[in-house]
Structure 1
Amino acid sequence: MVIQKLDKLQTMFAEMERALIAYSGGIDSTLVAKIARDVLGDRALAVTAISPSLLPEDLEEARIQAAEIGIHHQEIQTHEMENPNYTSNPVNRCYFCKSELHDTLKPLALQWGYPYIVDGVNADDLRDYRPGIQAAKERGVRSPLAEVGVSKAEVRELSKILSLSGWNKPAQPCLSSRFPYGEEITVNKLQRVGRAEVYLRKLGWQNLRVRSEKDTARIELPPEQIKEFVLTTDLPQLVKTFQEFGFIYVTLDLEGYRSGKLNQVLTPEAIGQS
């Protein structure tokens, strides 16, 4: 079944002839970039948008993966932090982020001779509240994984089949997703969260989030890892380090990490008004 979907993806890119991939370095866009490179060769281009919401460590990983794939890779700057519709962090914040991204990419794609811009949206993403998907659709961006019906689990399966080194790495959405809707996003806050997550990764905890609410950091880990974390981590040192980053309070979410948790506060009314 998954091989049939791979065949469809390969056929889709062959029909495009030239494609520009909105490439974050995450597992989804990396898979898309890999398939595009295999089919189109030098007629595929991966482009990564650099902004304060992208960790420098994740940017470096994106560069390494692009080199492993062998795809041409460009980097551009986006300026969503200059848009108050974004920094005020409304429930449809992602709409303004993706609008900025694709309004930047589209003229470049035309200038460089790429008739198609594609992204890494998968079929499971369509079942969550993702206002950025609408912004991409409005600008003619295609989502090959979603079009073929590739789920997140199948993304990992295909990535493993294609020998991508990051096939099992955790999802890593932009740092702006760490803040509750309505709390203003600033560069300093993004950097504070980023440093905290990198610190925990270096301690060996990979699948995690540091949610930020005003001066409080809330650490989310998979539920099955919480006990080990408490027993093996030097908690006073962790608190001291987080306070050096700029937090005052440090907490641990006892429910644990769950994808899409930020959206659990949304009501149909709030989504409809966005």
Structure 2
Amino acid sequence: MENIDQKYQKLKDIIHSYNTLAVAFSGGVDSTFLLKVAADVLQAKTASKTPENNVVAITAKSISFPEREHKESEDFCEKNDIKQVIVSVDQMKIEGFANNPPDRCYLCKKVIFSSIIEEAKRLGITTIAEGSNADDTTDYRPGMKAIEELKVKSPLKEAGLTKEEIRILSKRLGLPTWSKPSFACLATRFVYGEEITEEKIKMAGAAEEILFGSGFSQARCRVHGDMARIEVPEDEIKKLLEDETRQTIFKRIKALGFSYVSLDLQGYRTGSMNEILNYDTSPLL
């Protein structure tokens, strides 16, 4: 079995095989690490040519990613002297998106990555990569089907790097994201089949900002009609149940427009909306 250093070298070798690269960059743990390694490897490879143009970060701006995330992505690119291009995507205009079917992520990723590919080609770059890792094969992820169809590279997954290994390597590289909480598109907060609206996306995002602002290390606000189902790490549930904290959070989240605010006693976990699905029979896997 390969150790973390062998996987890291494999990643650098994979990236070195590209001449130019556009990284789909969200500012999260995985894409930040991928972008940094790509910049280091490819700019060194072509130092005598045009290093400022061989690695480009392309960031899709949409309603389902908070402004905070976009600002952090811009700050990182500016600090590391990496060219960043923003493409705006109106997710509410994507056919089927608002209906929130189980393959919503496929529909959305197909449009978003098509826009990224189009922008990359305009810049003269034909290789596009994204930040899926080896752990992303363990959950229902229909968006991966769109990525594969569009022939977008997934170097972290190809190198066999897990999320924890990416955090360890990110810390070694001094990246500020090494301990950043995982984040997923706010559209993942809705129970399948429930209509997604711009108003409710903003409500879910605002509820999570309240929880993070209250000191929780991770948080999700799952939307079930007019009810907010709150997830925080299992070892932080006790903190939320402290009377003053509980009442304050309840009042602030209810004020966003929810009729009910509930706590998921199982605690935070990724993909909790997928627990009702039968992965084995899904045609998208």
Same fold per superposition (TM over 0.5): yes
Shorter-chain TM-score tier: over 0.9
Is the 8 Å Cα contact of residues 80 and 96 (structure 1) preserved in structure 2?
A: no
Is the 8 Å Cα contact of residues 140 and 279 (structure 2) preserved in structure 1?
A: no
1:244 aligns with 2:265: no
Partner of 1:85: 96
Partner of 1:266: 277
Q: Residues 47 and 232 (structure 1 numbering): CA distance in 2 closer, same or farther, change over 3 Å?
A: farther
Instruction: Give how far 1:228 is off.
Output: 1.6
Q: How does 1:17-56 map to 2 (within 5 A)?
A: 17-41=19-43, 42=52, 43-56=54-67
* Match of residue 2, structure 1, among 1, 4, 11: 4
Is the 8 Å Cα contact of residues 86 and 97 (structure 1) preserved in structure 2?
A: yes
Is the 8 Å Cα contact of residues 103 and 142 (structure 2) preserved in structure 1?
A: yes
Partner of 2:47: none
For structure 1, the 5+ residue unaligned runs are none
Is the 8 Å Cα contact of residues 209 and 257 (structure 1) preserved in structure 2?
A: yes
Return 126-135 or 58-67, whichever deviates more: 58-67
Partner of 2:46: none
Partner of 2:238: 227
Is the 8 Å Cα contact of residues 145 and 284 (structure 2) preserved in structure 1?
A: no
Is the 8 Å Cα contact of residues 122 and 143 (structure 1) preserved in structure 2?
A: yes
Partner of 1:213: 224
Secondary structure of the corresponding residue to residue 171 of structure 2 = helix
List structure 1 segments (4+ residues) > 6 angstroms apart after TM superposition.
none
Instruction: Give how far 1:97 is off.
Output: 1.2
For structure 2, the 5+ residue unaligned runs are 44-51
Aligned counterparts of 1:12 and 1:273: Cα–Cα separation in 2: 27
Name the structure with the higher helix share.
1
Q: How does 1:69-218 map to 2 (within 5 A)?
A: 69-218=80-229
Aligned-pair identity (%): 38
- CA deviations 1:13-36 (Å, max 9, x no partner) are 222110000011110111100101
Count of aligned residue pairs for this structure pair = 274
TM-score in terms of structure 1 length: 0.95
Aligned counterparts of 2:17 and 2:278: Cα–Cα separation in 1: 41
Whichever residue aligns with residue 17 of structure 1, its letter is N
Is the 8 Å Cα contact of residues 50 and 75 (structure 1) preserved in structure 2?
A: yes
Instruction: Give how far 1:67 is off.
Output: 2.7
- CA deviations 1:210-232 (Å, max 9, x no partner) are 11111111110111110122116
Q: Residues 12 and 151 (structure 1 numbering): CA distance in 2 closer, same or farther, change over 3 Å?
A: same
Is the 8 Å Cα contact of residues 55 and 194 (structure 1) preserved in structure 2?
A: yes
Aligned counterparts of 2:281 and 2:254: Cα–Cα separation in 1: 34
Aligned counterparts of 2:232 and 2:175: Cα–Cα separation in 1: 25
Partner of 1:11: 13
Q: Residues 63 and 118 (structure 1 numbering): CA distance in 2 closer, same or farther, change over 3 Å?
A: same
Q: Residues 48 and 232 (structure 1 numbering): CA distance in 2 closer, same or farther, change over 3 Å?
A: farther
